[in-house]
Amino acid sequence: MSQSEATISTGTLSLPENQDSQRSASPAPTLIQGTEPGASQDEAMFVHAQSYEDLTGEEEGAVPGSPGVEGAVESSSMEQISEDFSKLSTKLSSSDQETQNSEVRTDLGRRESIRSTGQEENEEGGLRALEAWYNHQKHVFVLSEAGKPIYSRYHSEEALSSISGVMMALVSFLETEKNAIRSIHADAYKVVFVRRSPLVLVSVSHTRQSEQEIAQELLYVYYQILSLLTGTQLHHLFQQRPSYDLRRLLSGSERITDSLLDLMDIDPSFLLGAVRCLPIVSGARDASSSCLQQAKAKSLVFSILMSRNQLISLVRRKEHYLHHIDLHLLFNLVTSSSSFKEGEAWTPVCLPKFNSSGFFHAHISYLSHDPELCLLLISTDREDFFTVSDCKRRIVERMEKRGCWGSLREALRSPFYSVAQVDIPELRHFLYKSKSSGLFTCPAMDVPYDTDEERRRLLALYQYLHSKAHCSSHHLTTIYHMGTNENILTWVTDAFELYVCFSPLATKSIATTGVSRLLRWIRKEEDRLFILSSPTY
Amino acid sequence: MSGQRVDVKVVMLGKESVGKTSLVERYVHHRFLQGPYQNTIGAAFVAKTMYVEGRSLTLGIWDTAGSERYEAMSRIYYRGAKAAIVCYDLTDASSFERVKFWVNELQNFEEHCRIYICGTKSDLLENDKSLRQVDFHDVQDYAEEIKAHVCETSSKTGQSVDELFQKVAEDYVNFNSMQGPTEAKGVDLNQKQNSTLYSCCHH
Ligand SMILES: Nc1nc2c(ncn2[C@@H]2O[C@H](COP(=O)(O)OP(=O)(O)O)[C@@H](O)[C@H]2O)c(=O)[nH]1
Ligand SMILES: [Mg+2]
C-alpha cells in the first residue's frame, strides 16, 4: 500500500475569501461556529458536544491525559501483559475442547493446534464456531468489576466466562484510576479497556481505529446498558451485591446491543457524533414538524419523526435539549427490533445523557411500513399512555389533512442522494458535519463503494483520518491522504468537519477546488439536507 | 387504533417466548409469523372491536414483554385490567412456574381481574405427545383453586384462539350486566374526594 499524507496545520487550502459574514456562499476557514452550512438558524436542537468529550470530560471523572495513552504502562509491565495476553489467547482457543488435533487459523495470524476431547458429531460444528469466533474483527465484552460476565458480542458465553478471569486480572493490573481507559497492543491486536464503575468494557479488535474511537464505542455500549436499566438501578444493584449477575436482567436485550455494535461498524453517525437527517424539501419538513408541534401534552418532552436511522423532524420542550448519543440509542432501539411494527409500543427507556437516574416512557409506532416512517413520543409519565396515544392520532390526522404524505413518501423512497448530483470531477463520497447543529449529511455510497467490504474499508479510512485530525491540538486541521484506491481530504475547523473522498486520479489542486465547490453546493442545498430550525411545543 | 374508547382492558402475561405476542397476532391479524424470535420490548397496545350478543365491545389488549427487567413496572400494564391471559408453554414446565408468580401478583393487586390460564403451542403436541411437560389435570386443579378459566391454544393453527378472546368478552358482558350498578359507580376516586370534602365542611 502506497500512501502518503500531508498534515497542514493552518488553512493552506486556498479557498475564495468571503466578505459576507452571515451565511456566506462558500465558507472560509475562519468561519465562526453557527454560520457554517447546516447551522441552525435559531437555537440548536442538540446539546453541544465535542469529540471524545465523554472520554475527557470532568464530569465522568476521567483522568486528564489518560485516555488511551499508548504505552501508559511501563515497559516492564508491558512484557507481563504480553505474556498474559498470549495466555489469554490460548485460553480462548481451548475453551472449546475437541478430540483430535486440528489446526485453526486464528486472527492472531498464527496457527495453533488444539487438543480436544469432545464427541465426533460436535467436533465439526464446534470447530467451525470457534473459527468463526476468531474471524470476527471486533469482539466486545462487558464484565462486572467482580469479573462476572455480562455481555459478549457474538454470544460466546463460554469463551467469555473462561477468559473473564484473565480479563479481570489484566484490568486490575492495569487499573490505576476509575473511569480510565487503557489499551494493550499485542500482535495485530488492540485491547481497549474502559472502566465505568460498576462495569468494565473490553474490546479486542484489529482495526486502524484509535483507542479513543474504540473507547467511544465501548461507552456507547455502556450507555446502551444504562438506557435499559438507568444508572441509578445499575449502581444500586452492584452496591447491594458486588457479585450480582446482571445477565438475567438484560436478557432479551442482547439483540439491541448487537445491533448497536453492527451499526457502529457501518454508520458514520457514531464516528462524527452527529445525527443524519433525511433529505427532504424544507416545506415538507416544516409541515411535518408543525404537525408534531401542535400535538402537545403535558408529559411530552420530545416528539421525533424518523426513518431508518435518519431524522426527519424533532420537536422538543423548551429548555430541553436532546443529546445525540441519546438519539442514536433511540434510533438503534427502533431499528433493531421488529416488535414495534405492530400496534403501539409503550416502553420504559432511560436517556442516559439527558438524565441517567430515571426512565422516560417511549410511545413508538410506525405510521407507514413501506416506506418506513416511525414516530417516537417521549413522555415523562408512565401512566400517560392514552394521552400520548391520542397525540399520535392527532399527528396522523393533521398530516393527512395537510397532505404531508405525498412529499414525505417521495423523500422516504430516496433517502440518499447520489454524489453525481453534486457534479464535481473525481468526487466519490463525502461526510459533512455542521458542528453547531450536530447534524451531518453524506451521499449514498455508490460505485465503487457498493459492496459491504468496500463500505467498511471507506468507513475505516474515515475513522482513521478522524482520529488523526482529532489528536492534533490545532483548531484547524487539513489532512490530504493519498492512497492507492482513493484520496481523501480531511478538513476540520471550529465550525465544521469535512471528509471528502476523491478518486486516486484527483490531484491536490482538483481536490482543493472540488472542496470549495462542494461547500457551496452544501450551502445551496442546506435547507433540504439539514434541519435549520429547532421547533419547540 | 388509538383515541377510541376501550371497554375492556386485557393484559397478556407470562414468561418470555411462551407465545403471548403470537397469540395477539393471531387473534388481531389472523396470522402466524415464523422466523427468528423477536422479543417484545416494554409492552405493545392494540385495540380490537368485536361483537358479543349483538353489542360491540372494544378490547384494549396489552401484550407485555415478560422480562424481569421491567417487572417492577409491570403494574402499569395490568392495573385496572378486567382480564388477564396468563400464558405458559405446554412444552416448558418452567413457564408454568412463572404462571403462579403472575397469578399471585394479580391476586394481590387486581382482585377484580378475571384470570385465563392459557397453555400455548398445542400444535407441537399433535405429532409428539411426549413433548408435553405440563399435565392438563394439574393445571385444571390449580385453576379451580384460583377460580380461573383454562384453555390450550395454538397460534400456529389458530386452534381455540378466537374462542379464548370471545370467552373473555362474554365473561365481561355477563359479569358486567350482573354487577350492573356497582360497576357504574366503579370509580371510587370521586367518592373519596366527596367524602373528604364532606368531612372538611363538617369541621
Ligand atoms: N409451534 C408453535 N410455535 C409458536 C406458537 N406460538 C408462538 N410460537 C413461537 O414461540 C416463539 C415465541 O413467541 P412469541 O409470541 O414472540 O412469545 P412472547 O415472548 O410470549 O411474546 C416464537 O418463535 C414463535 O414462533 C404456537 O402456537 N405454535
Ligand atoms: Mg412478545
- Reading chain A (537 residues) residue by residue, the pLDDT tens digits are 445 555 443 334 444 334 333 454 555 555 677 788 888 777 777 776 666 666 655 444 333 333 333 333 333 344 444 454 444 444 443 333 332 333 222 233 332 323 233 344 445 555 555 555 556 778 898 988 888 889 988 876 666 666 666 666 666 656 656 556 677 777 677 888 888 989 989 898 877 788 888 999 999 999 999 999 999 999 999 999 999 999 989 988 999 999 999 999 889 999 999 999 999 998 999 999 999 999 999 999 999 999 999 999 999 999 899 999 999 999 999 999 888 888 899 999 999 999 999 999 999 999 999 899 999 999 999 999 999 999 999 999 999 999 888 889 999 998 899 999 999 989 999 999 999 899 999 999 998 999 988 998 999 999 999 988 887 666 668 899 998 999 999 999 989 999 999 999 988 889 999 999 999 999 999 999 999 888 999
Contact A89, A115 (CB under 8 A): no
Closest alpha carbon within chain B to A248: B68
Instruction: Report how far residue B59's alpha carbon sits from residue B9's, in angstroms, rounded to the nearest whole number.
Output: 6
Do you find a cis peptide bond into A448, omega within 30 degrees of 0? yes
Q: Is residue B188 part of a domain?
A: no
Q: How is the beta sheet containing A138-144 ordered, strand by strand?
A: A149-152, A138-144, A199-205, A189-196, A181-186
Give the Å distances, CA to CA, from A175 to A67, A312, A418, B148, B153: 13, 43, 48, 57, 55
CA-to-CA distance for A315 and A44, rounded, in angstroms? 12
Cβ atoms of A409 and A386 within 8 Å: the answer is: no
In three-state secondary structure terms, A38 is coil
* 3-class SS string, A307-356: ECCEEEEEEECCCCCECHHHHHHHHHHHHCCHHHCCCEEEEEECCCCCCC
Please say whether the beta carbons of A502 and A486 come within 8 A. Answer: yes
A413's CB contacts (< 8 A; 6+ apart) are: A371
Instruction: Give the atom of ligand 1 at the shortest distance from the alpha carbon of B25.
Output: 15
CATH number at residue B75: 3.40.50.300
Residues 204-263 of A with CB under 8 A from B: 228-229, 248-253, 255-256
ipTM above 0.90, yes or no: no
What domain range is B84 assigned to? 8-177+194-199
Asked whether residue B156 is domain-assigned, the answer is yes
Assess if residue B1 is contained within a domain. no
Is the full-model pTM beyond 0.95? no
Q: Is residue B77 part of a domain?
A: yes
Q: Is residue B99 part of a domain?
A: yes
Q: Is residue B3 in a domain?
A: no
Instruction: Say if ligand 1 is within 6 A of residue B40 CB.
Output: yes
Among B15, B16, B41, B64, the strongest candidate for a mutation testing the A interface, having the largest count of A CBs within 10 A, is B41
What number of residues does chain A have?
537
**Residue B2 placed within a domain:** no
Place of cell 382492558: B9
Q: Which domains does chain A have, with CATH numbers?
A: 4-48+417-529 (3.30.450), 70-271 (3.30.450.30), 280-413 (3.30.450.30)
How far apart are the C-alpha atoms of A146 and A243, rounded to whole Å?
A: 6
Cross-chain residue pair B41–A347, CB shorter than 8 Å: yes
B159 lines ligand 1 (CB under 6 A): no
- Exposed/middle/buried for A313, CB within 10 Å: 0-12, 13-18, 19+? buried
Closest residue, chain A, to B45 (C-alpha): A344
State which of B12, B20, B22, B124 you would mutate to test the pocket of ligand 1, scoring each by most atoms of that ligand within 8 A of its C-beta.
B22
Q: Is B185 inside any structural domain?
A: no
Burial (CB count within 10 angstroms: exposed 0-12, middle 13-18, buried 19+), residue A79: exposed
Number of domain units in chain B: 1
Round to whole Å and give the CA distance between B28 and B12: 14
Q: Supply φ then ψ for residue A482, to 5 degrees.
A: -110, 120
